[in-house]
């Protein structure tokens, strides 16, 4: 990726994704000089996130140009894509020439389902971290994990940290720092409970219980994807 050339970045946009997994990195990437950022889905109709926000794709799986950086966000809709061969094939094909293959949150499970994390260290949302093992990856409980040309971010808000890290890697730290300042990204959350490391036992127990029914659905999709990888 020469600095004189436009850097092509593609974010997969799919129904029932967690919008901040996508919009956090998008906000960083579009501020980086010399970048073209694509929002990619099967058609150009509005795509509705898990919480009801509609977002417009800019290109389709079939018409998307070759990407220098591919980024897969996560969210509940990821489960239904774990055996969607159109999407998995797109990810594999684009990853053949992409310089960086990346994800935020449970987007890493999609990378894993596409066979792209076997033998790699990776991260995802804390509640799904153990599922990476099923897909041949080594789970790492960190906000950003890099292993060769794979860069994975942890849950939801980590997408901003992740994207600043990517920009620093590609365009240099000075540009990433400038973007961070433009965005006034200076997090000072009101409560120290934003990860299992700091949450109380009761808070963690409640969050796990709230997520339990859906997490079992996600786990079954991961197990099914893992069985296909072994064939």
Q: Say whether 144 sits in a helix, a strand or coil.
A: strand
- d(CA 82, CA 215) in angstroms, rounded, equals 14
Structure-derived torsion over alpha carbons of residues 119, 16, 65, 63, reported in degrees to the nearest 10: 130
- Say how far apart CA 222 and CA 224 lie, in whole Å: 5
The answer to whether the CB of 71 falls within 8 A of the CB of 13 is no
Active site residue 105: yes
Q: What is the chain's alpha carbon radius of gyration, rounded to the nearest angstrom?
A: 17
> Residue 118's closest CA among 106, 132, 99?
132
Q: Please identify which of the residues 64, 71, 99, 105 carries the catalytic annotation.
A: 105
Cβ(101)–Cβ(93) below 8 Å = no
Q: Which residues are catalytic?
A: 105
């Amino acid at each position: 990726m020469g600095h004189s050339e436009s850097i092509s970045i593609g974010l997969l946009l799919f129904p029932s994704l967690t919008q901040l997994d996508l919009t956090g990195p998008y906000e960083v990437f579009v501020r980086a000089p010399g970048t073209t950022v694509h929002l990619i889905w099967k058609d150009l109709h509005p795509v509705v996130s898990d919480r009801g926000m509609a977002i417009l794709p800019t290109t389709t799986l079939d018409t998307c140009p070759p990407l220098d950086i591919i980024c897969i966000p996560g969210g509940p809709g990821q489960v239904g894509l774990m055996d969607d061969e159109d999407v998995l094939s797109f990810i594999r094909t684009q990853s053949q020439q992409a310089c960086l293959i990346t994800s935020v949150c449970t987007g890493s499970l999609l990378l894993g389902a596409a066979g792209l994390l076997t033998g790699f260290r990776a991260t995802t949302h804390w509640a799904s971290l153990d599922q990476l093992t099923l897909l041949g990856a080594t789970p790492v409980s960190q906000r950003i994990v890099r292993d060769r040309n794979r860069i994975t971010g942890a849950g939801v808000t980590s997408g901003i940290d992740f994207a600043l890290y990517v920009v620093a890697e590609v365009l240099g730290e000075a540009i990433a720092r400038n973007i961070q300042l433009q965005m006034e990204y200076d997090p000072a959350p009101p409560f120290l409970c934003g990860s299992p490391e700091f949450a109380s036992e009761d808070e963690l127990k409640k969050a796990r219980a709230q997520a339990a029914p859906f997490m079992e659905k996600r786990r079954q999709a991961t197990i099914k994807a893992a069985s296909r990888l072994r064939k």
